[in-house]
């Protein structure tokens, strides 16, 4: 009995200690989190035949073999491999050489970004209509972005933790209660420090410290208005620049009218970042992050995806051409709780005016569809599959 009483006392002490630690995470009305994963929100079943009735899209290797079959015909490097590299880096809106396969079904992850219910919208998993996620149409049948085969997707998400360029911090100020608070200030920073892992090297521990990158990360600093209802943080729309480098090549995503929807706890947060992703910035991030060789692992054809995204783009028309430049999208994300060092915030207060983040906007001298048509004269282009 004495041992049982002693054990019960130890358990009670541990519970009290955890509760105290949780209470201390909201220190003076402030709690901060560091991003630990980031993936484009595709709602897919492991069996591609269910979601992609026409199959998944071919990748760079399959497309190259179809364009330049190994039939003994002599070929030039400049007119084969190098030509495809040019097409991948500088694609146009000319129809693709290959049919593009889109996911079927009416459900998708995401948020209602425009407050409307349109014919092209999806329904959420819990039955909410009007979900805007045209990015799902572009990525849903790309093996790289399927949960069961998401090789590139998993690599990109892993870089959120391993590459300190990607250290996104979210700080909530004026928090009275993590369950319900009708007015909180949300600040986005880029951090400078590594995240702490458990002994197995798999799980990320809460409670670490972070410094704000005041020198090189000022373009990522953003202030949002938010509220907490039933433990879920939502923010008002605002343009958001997200650092997302792979293989140590700095690259960013630019999401217009972005809003957060995160389920909060004292040690974790998880949910969605949704908005209208700038197509040119998305394409540049992919090309800088992974070579054609790496894209081939997940059958991710940069040229085909770009053309699909431009076709599905549904917001922010170009004032000159009228073509939409951004595509509705959502990102799944997770966070762990951290403490931002006070001296780091003091340095931020004296840093002066913050620069305004800008999107890529595309190459200043883009190729024309007519120029692309001359790459493979006589090669028929595909039409959009129904």
Per-residue pLDDT for 23 more than 60? no
- φ, ψ of residue 211 in degrees (nearest 5): -110, 145
Please answer whether residues 329 and 276 qualify as being in contact, where contact means their C-beta atoms are separated by less than 8 angstroms.
Answer: yes
What is the rounded CA–CA span in Å between residue 129 and residue 116? Answer: 9
- Pull the structure tokens for residue 79: 């007119």
Which tens digits make up the pLDDT trace of 160-194? Answer: 999 999 999 999 999 999 999 999 999 999 999 99
Q: What is the pLDDT of residues 209-234, one digit of tens each?
A: 999 999 999 999 999 999 999 999 99
Q: What is the pLDDT of residue 220?
A: 95
Q: Are 265 and 297 in contact (CB under 8 A)?
A: no
Mean per-residue pLDDT, 264-291? 96
pLDDT beyond 90 at 22: no
Strands 232-235 and 222-229: antiparallel
DSSP characters over 44-57: --S-HHHH-TT-PP
374 in Cβ contact with 269 (< 8 Å): no
pTM of the predicted model as reported, rounded to 2 decimal places = 0.90
Residue 263: half-sphere exposure toward Cβ, Cα within 13 Å:
4
Query: Residue 307, SS3?
Result: helix
């Amino acid at each position: 009995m004495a041992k049982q009483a002693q054990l019960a006392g130890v358990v009670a002490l541990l519970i009290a200690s955890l509760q105290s630690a949780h209470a201390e995470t909201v220190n003076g009305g402030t709690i901060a989190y560091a991003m630990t994963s980031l993936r484009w929100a595709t709602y897919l079943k492991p069996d591609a035949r269910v979601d992609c009735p026409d199959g998944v899209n071919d990748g760079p290797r399959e497309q190259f073999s179809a364009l330049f079959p190994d039939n003994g015909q002599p070929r030039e490097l400049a007119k084969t491999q190098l030509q495809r590299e040019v097409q991948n880096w500088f694609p146009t809106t000319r129809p693709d050489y290959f049919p593009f396969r889109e996911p079927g079904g009416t459900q998708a992850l995401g948020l209602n970004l425009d407050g409307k219910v349109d014919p092209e919208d999806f329904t959420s998993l819990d039955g909410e209509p009007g979900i805007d996620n045209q990015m799902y149409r572009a990525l849903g049948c790309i093996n790289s972005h399927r949960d069961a085969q998401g090789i590139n997707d998993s690599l990109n998400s892993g870089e959120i933790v391993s590459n300190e360029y990607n250290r996104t911090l979210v700080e909530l100020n004026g928090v009275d209660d993590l369950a319900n608070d009708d007015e909180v200030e949300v600040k986005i920073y880029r951090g400078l420090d590594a995240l702490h892992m458990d002994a197995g090297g798999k799980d990320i521990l809460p409670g670490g410290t972070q410094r704000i990158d005041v020198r090189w990360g000022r373009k990522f600093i953003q202030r949002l208005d938010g509220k907490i209802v039933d433990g879920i943080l939502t923010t008002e729309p605002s343009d958001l620049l997200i650092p997302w480098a792979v293989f140590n090549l700095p690259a960013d995503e630019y999401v217009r009218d972005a809003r957060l929807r995160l389920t909060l706890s004292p040690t974790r947060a998880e949910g969605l970042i949704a908005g209208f992703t700038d197509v040119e910035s998305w394409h540049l991030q992919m090309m800088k992050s992974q070579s054609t060789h790496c894209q081939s692992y997940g059958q991710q054809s940069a040229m085909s995806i770009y053309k699909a995204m431009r076709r599905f783009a549904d917001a922010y028309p170009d004032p000159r051409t009228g073509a939409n430049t951004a595509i509705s999208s959502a990102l799944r994300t997770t966070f762990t709780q951290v403490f931002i060092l006070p001296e780091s915030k003091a340095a931020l207060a004296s840093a002066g005016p913050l620069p305004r983040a800008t999107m890529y906007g595309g190459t200043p001298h883009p190729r024309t569809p007519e120029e692309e048509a001359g790459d493979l004269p006589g090669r028929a282009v595909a039409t959009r599959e129904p």
